[in-house]
Structure 1
Amino acid sequence: MATTLQDLSTDEKSILDKINQLADQVDPLSTKIQLSDTTNLYDELLRWKTEAYRIIDQVYEQKRIHLQTIIEEHKSKQAKNNI
């Protein structure tokens, strides 16, 4: 399955939306720190960290697939030109 630039842009927008959602969670966490409510803070930070790494892995995989597609298309064009 070849990834088109349009599909990738949609995926990237979705990923950026998720990153923005995570960024929006920083304010409530900051408020909790100021209120010294650290009971659940560690668990929330751990979940946030895990989600951030998941998103980073997702971006990496999409970029890897996109690059692989570009390389395969280039090889295909070279093969056609050599015929």
Structure 2
Amino acid sequence: MLATHDLRLVRIASTLALDAGRSRSDYEFQMLLGVREKDQTRLVADGARVRVYIPYGPDWYGWFVNRIVERPSNIRLVAHALLTSSWPTRSP
């Protein structure tokens, strides 16, 4: 399992796993819902297993803030996801 949105790390992990004789079903990538959705779709189309993580519940905000504090560049990923994702709309 590799949880990352860094496509360079995804490529490295895929190469290492295949070089070690691992099949695609032996490992998976984990990414957040709404972040790099096109890349998630492409990975699945290429045969990779992708688990989408959805933080929810009463502690979601604390989890979110901790991720931003750990790596401030994550705010760019969040902003991009918010601005480019297709969000369901409510019909009147």
Provide the TM-score with structure 1 as the length reference: 0.34
Q: Highest relative contact order (Cα 8 Å, sep 6+), 1 or 2? A: 1
Between Structure 1 and Structure 2, which shows a larger proportion of helix residues? 1
Provide the TM-score with structure 2 as the length reference: 0.31
